[in-house]
A and B are shown apart, each in its own frame.
Chain A
Amino acid sequence: MKNGFADSIRRTFAIARNTVLEAIRNRAFLGMGIAAFGLVVSSIALSSLAVRDQAERVLVDFGLAATSLMEIVIAITMGVILVFKEIDRKTFYLVLPKPIRRSEVIAGKFVGLLGVLGASLLLMAAGWLISLQVKGISIPAGVPQALLLVWAQAALITSVAIFFSSFASPVLSGVFTFGVFMVGSSVTVLQELMQARKGMLATPGPARLIAEGAVAVFPDLSVFNVGKELILRIPVTWEYVGASMLYCGFYCLFFLAIGALVFQRRDFS
């Protein structure tokens, strides 16, 4: 048997394919998808409450934010449940003795979830764009870039969720992953506070040390948020998207590599 790169990709995609099938046939996920679509479409109702010239802003901002939030919810829930479920329900007992590396199983789960996130993103994006059309608002030029960045952010959070689920329970993994999301979303704020030299972060001490550590270690999720640019019709360049994707790829590899290492050493007793 060849153990080359092509074999590894084949095995990874076998797991990924099964992960997508699982999501498609999971009623909870389908419910989540429908809820997400409904949430995005509900921005139409929300926009009618806005001041007349603010309707466009509400529709664009709320639509993108709702899409991004639902992608994060799906990433965290699916990411923490899928690996744990296989361990808890012992389905791994059939998979792991087969000629497949544990790192390929982790990678396969991740790739499968990327597919699931992509499909749900397309569904929500469709709802969002339909609502813009219904309200007669022209679609901003940077929508594809913005959606790609939303997907990248969800991918990064998925890798964090899979990392935690390789050793912790779903509840703990969910809490830890949400924590990473919250800190990651606040990295820019922390940087600004440190630069402003105001409050607790002004002087050297434990608080500043923690903030510096968080800024250094946690991914800065604000790079994936281009809602402001979309509203102000500022172009989002593909160079920026490419750099952000590389940034996302680096963190995904980092979290998945550690997750795979932990998973590799785990006993299935």
Chain B
Amino acid sequence: MDEIIRVENLSKTFRTPFRRKRVDAVSNVSFVVRRGEIFGFLGPNGAGKTTTIKMLTGLIQPTAGTVSMLGGGPADLSVRARIGFLPEQPYFYDYLTPVELLDVFGRIFGIPARIRKERIESLLTQVGLFEARNRTLRKFSKGMLQRTGIAQALLNDPELVILDEPLSGLDPVGRKEVNDLIATLRQQGKTIFFSSHILADIERLCDRVVILDRGVTKAAGTLSELLTSDSGEREILAGGITDVSGLNGLDGVVRCETYGTDAVRIVCESAASDRLVGTLLRAGGTILGVNDRRISLEQLFVSRTIREKSCPATDNEGEVRGVSE
């Protein structure tokens, strides 16, 4: 699968206006986004997600590191022509109607007039704004503006869609519609780079994620890798054993419970699983299954961000899991 985005050691340092104090918004962030996947970019507020996205879209220049997208850099016009971008809380020319706004952007993209007209109508229908197409944007609700933002991000039929918090400001119905739209875009073969802190949506939609906190990568990989590896626990399902009282005292067992009428489920530390399997077999049991125990994305997110807030900033580097390939 070919790479759509490659970010290597990306850093951005700002200076405060008067005291010229250094603020490291993003430090040595690296990741790769592959063609056709939905890539989640996770992190609490102030994690550096939007700063990273602004570097991807050329709105700000990195202090260090490189960004390569669709075979070029963020400044290449031919690359930008193949990208759709929805900024966080997009601001619009509120004196325009959505049709006029999309027309301005369509002209910038160089979409011929007839195709432009058709595509604008189709997109406004797709995001549910066709009825409001002749109303000025200053009369739009927050949710309607978000949909307008999504429409403009798809105007050029992009290969790569970068969405910064696309679900913010949407009601549950709107969120579902946008989620469905993102799923449809994936079916169309588009690559989606999607930042959010709504974990349920990330977990449902994304193939791979990067978790960012205070500008530093805290975790990167496929969801299944991260959610299983991070628990450090395994689950053993054993038949022929019904008495759990003896098992609870064994070294490495986290907890134990009956499962059905003649089986037990043992949650144990991963390192102790082989030894426990041997013990169970010697006790006359049969092993029905051994699986890495999954944690939820929320648990992973909390363990990687909130827990570490109490740690000194200098400890951050030790937590970086490296580039996700």
Contacts and interface: CB of A to CB of B under 8 A. Distances in A.
13 contacts: A7-B110, A14-B108, A21-B95, A21-B96, A22-B93, A90-B87, A93-B87, A94-B87, A94-B105, A97-B59, A98-B80, A100-B77, A265-B61
Nearest to A265: B61
Given A7-B110, A94-B87, A269-B54, A99 B78 contact: yes
A18 B93 contact: yes
A89 interface: yes
A96 B91 CA distance: 13
Contact of B109 (A13, A17, A99): A99
A195 interface: no
Most buried by A among B77, B80, B81, B149: B77
Contacts of B80: 97-100
Contacts of B217: none
Interface in B31-82: 51, 54, 57-61, 77-78, 80-81
Contacts of A10: 107, 110
A97 B83 CA distance: 9
Contact of A1 (B51, B59, B81, B96): B81
A207 to B, nearest CB: 34
A268 B61 CA distance: 9
A95 B105 CA distance: 8
Contacts of A95: 105, 108
B91 A17 contact: no
Interface in A2-24: 3, 7, 10-11, 13-15, 17-18, 21-22
Given A14-B104, A265-B61, 10 more contacts: A1-B78, A22-B95, A90-B91, A94-B92, A94-B149, A97-B59, A97-B83, A98-B108, A99-B108, A269-B59
B321 to A, nearest CB: 27
A90 B284 CA distance: 69
A235 B95 CA distance: 44
B152 A99 contact: no
B91 A11 contact: no
B90 interface: yes
A3 B104 contact: no
B105 A98 contact: yes
Contacts of B104: 14, 17-18
B85 interface: yes
A91 B96 CA distance: 12
Given A93-B59, A98-B80, A99-B77, A269 B51 contact: yes
The bracket for how many chain B residues form the interface is 20 to 34
B259 interface: no
Contact of A11 (B58, B59, B61, B108): B108
B100 interface: yes
A101 B105 contact: no
B58 A21 contact: no
Nearest to B152: A94
A95 B91 CA distance: 11
A1 B111 CA distance: 11
A25 interface: yes
Contacts of B87: 90, 93-94
B59 A268 contact: yes
Nearest to A11: B108
Contacts of A94: 85, 87, 90-92, 105, 149, 152
A267 interface: yes
Which A-B residue pairs are the 3 nearest by beta carbons? A14-B107, A97-B57, A25-B95
Contacts of A138: none
A101 B59 CA distance: 12
Contacts of A3: 77-78
B92 A17 contact: no
Contacts of A14: 104, 107-108
B92 A91 contact: yes
A237 interface: no
B81 A99 contact: yes
A183 to B, nearest CB: 30
Nearest to A97: B57
A153 B107 CA distance: 30
Interface string B2-22: 000000000000100000000
Interface string B232-262: 0000000000000000000000000000000
A21 B100 contact: yes
Given A1-B81, A21-B100, A25-B95, A93 B108 contact: no
Interface string A240-269: 000000000000000000000000010111
B85 A97 contact: yes
A12 B253 CA distance: 69
A14 B110 CA distance: 10
B85 A1 contact: no
Contacts of B81: 1, 99
A97 B163 CA distance: 13
B91 A91 contact: yes
Nearest to A92: B59
Nearest to B86: A94
A100 B108 contact: yes
A91 B108 CA distance: 15
Nearest to B79: A99
B80 to A, nearest CB: 4
Most buried by B among A1, A26, A92, A98: A98
Contacts of A22: 93, 95
Contacts of B93: 18, 22, 91
